[in-house]
Structure 1
Amino acid sequence: MNLLRRLYVMVSDEAESLRLDALPSAPPCLKSMLLAGKLETVPHWFQSLRSLVYLRLYWSRLTQDVFPFIQALPCLGILELDNAYSGKELLFDAGFQKLKVLYLANLPQLKEITIERGVMPDLERLIVQGCMELKTLPHGIEYLTNLQTLDLATVSSELIHQIHGEQSVGRSKVRHIPNIHHYYKSASKTLQFKNLS
């Protein structure tokens, strides 16, 4: 167990809760973890994941008060939240100092993302997919000065209109991002790609 580098735990049904407190402590060498299932409480050993680089949460139904445990992970480089958050507002107000990739997918209630100055200073890629209630750019996206790629897939037309065209209201906030991509399905249901850079 001490040499375990990858841990994937999945439930058979999305309504089922993960029972992770049965694990007495976190494997000290753990680099990658996928948790698929409702996460009612954060395991007591979560903050000891000092080597964790990759974390994917699926079906978790997280609330905002769980984020202090995630943002404090010192080596976290990739965070994927897929159908994992049930709130309307997502606030990144501290931490994530080594995060390179943030993937937010299938968060049907999400209406607002806020990123405080100094958070995620090394973020290089932000992917937002299937968040149809999100009508505006993340507040504070202009603080992500190392962001190289913004991928928007199956998002609202209101969000796209904020950055499409030089006169768009949010264009100045994303001017520093070299690659902005929009993925969407056409009337014939084929996947289309548009470069918004």
Structure 2
Amino acid sequence: MKSLIRCPWCEGFDLYRQYHDTEWGVPLHDSRQLFELLILEGAQAGLSWSTVLKKRETYREAFDNFDPKKIANYDDKKVAELLVNPGIIRNRLKVAATIGNAKAYLALERSGQPFNQFLWAFVKNKPIQNNHLSLSELPSNSPESDAMSRALLKAGFKFVGTTICYAFMQASGMINDHLVSCHRHAAVKRKTKI
């Protein structure tokens, strides 16, 4: 049996390969799931995605399944609990940013701007299809991630620099950055046709 060709970054352990094969690059439109992904991408800052991926289920438990309404109401006692939870990244600034980001998310929604529509507007509601041949061709940002970062910062979000936004756009399927040789490149491209 011929083995599948994958993007080289996902090789190393089964959870990483599974994430690559089933989630990464598949267009995601659910606002709450997009919020979760944005928070996790911010938590990754300075770390590897594999670190966050291994902790994702614990993050979901610790942060009330990423319900912005619940997170926006976290008090000092809840923050103290989070900062001693070994199942998440115990960084005070990142925990505070998650709470602030939940408040910013709710403010956007209250203003009549659904989070998913706000984010997908940066790619004109259609995934960007790249055709990279090697990992060295993948950029760390783009004009779209620059614009998303500026808009999110203006809306009150934290840990949303352009590099984080670009990784978020890749993961959420706003950008198809599977290498052309990867078995997922064409599959994701087919899923994105409108």
Would you call these one fold, judging by a TM-score over 0.5?
no
Higher RCO (C-alpha 8 Å, min separation 6): 2
TM-score, L = length of structure 2: 0.24
Structure that is richer in strand per residue: 1
TM-score (norm 1): 0.24
